[in-house]
Amino acid sequence: MSFIRSLVFNGLFYGWLFILLLTSPLLMPFDRKVMRQGLKWWSRSAILIMKYGCGIDYKFVGLEKLPPGPVVVACKHQSTWETFALYLILEDPQYILKQELMDLPLWGWYAGKSQHIAVDREAGSKALRTLVSETLDRVSLGRQVIIFPEGTRSDPGTRGRYHPGVAAMYKALPENVPMVPMALNSGRHWGRRKFWITPGTITLEVLDPIYPGMDRKVFMKLLEERIEDASTRLLSAD
């Protein structure tokens, strides 16, 4: 049964994604707001596919801690789920992604039109400058920037190295724009590079925002502790 459920889900999800990519060029002539609304609609439909296609529901906890307006979200990354589910709670999210994705046919065009932030991880200090300047540009427009501090997906119960880019972003933020940590347990139900899907409820928890002004090392320690402790707790409670 689990094999059939996983097969159906993967067929539906990636088939629906393929349809999105094929139709996205039709949205190119329009304002990026049209593209954003299209992606929000697709995200909601993908959530429904997960719920009714393989029994994965979701819940958001602590939404009252998410300030309105521009913020930088630092989210735990365990699954493909959080690469689109945040469209459900953020007004105008802008993901930070690796430069290689911009070279993909259709997907790269879509990401460019949406004005996500592409960073060349091989470019060293130039990449950090790009990351910071593009982040400041997006928050000045009232948008929300999303970064996965570990840079890649991690298995449930493990943690990767938190990269210095998140600290550079934090140090450059205006005093009224916080860094908002988020924890989750998505990898328990839809793991990285995994075919198998496990029914249950994905929980994403919004944690207390961290406002600018902290020492870099203090900030990094606090950010990692909040995200990792909460993610471990969510896995234990699942």
- DSSP string spanning 49-98? HHHHHH-EEEEEE-GGGS-SS-EEEEE---SSTHHHHGGGT-SSEEEEEE
pLDDT of the residue at 224: 97
Question: What pLDDT, in 10s, does the model give residues 26-83?
Answer: 767 777 788 788 888 888 988 988 888 788 999 999 999 999 999 999 999 999 999 9
Please report the pLDDT score of residue 225 as a whole number.
97
Q: Domain 57-237, what fold?
A: Rossmann fold (3.40.50)
Instruction: Please give the single-letter amino acid code of residue 33.
Output: K
Task: Tell me the average pLDDT across 101-108.
Answer: 77
pLDDT digits (tens, 9 = 90+) for 151-202: 889 999 898 899 999 999 999 999 999 999 999 999 999 877 777 788 899 9
Contact 137, 143 (CB under 8 A): no
The domain locations on the chain are: 57-237
Which of 199-210 are b and which e, b meaning 16 or more Cβ less than 10 Å from the residue's Cβ? eeebbbbbbebb
Whether the CB-CB separation of 74 and 230 falls below 8 Å is answered with no
Distance CA 49, CA 46 (A): 5
For residues 106-122, give the mean pLDDT: 80
Identify the DSSP state of 147.
E
Q: Are 131 and 117 within 8 A, CB to CB?
A: yes
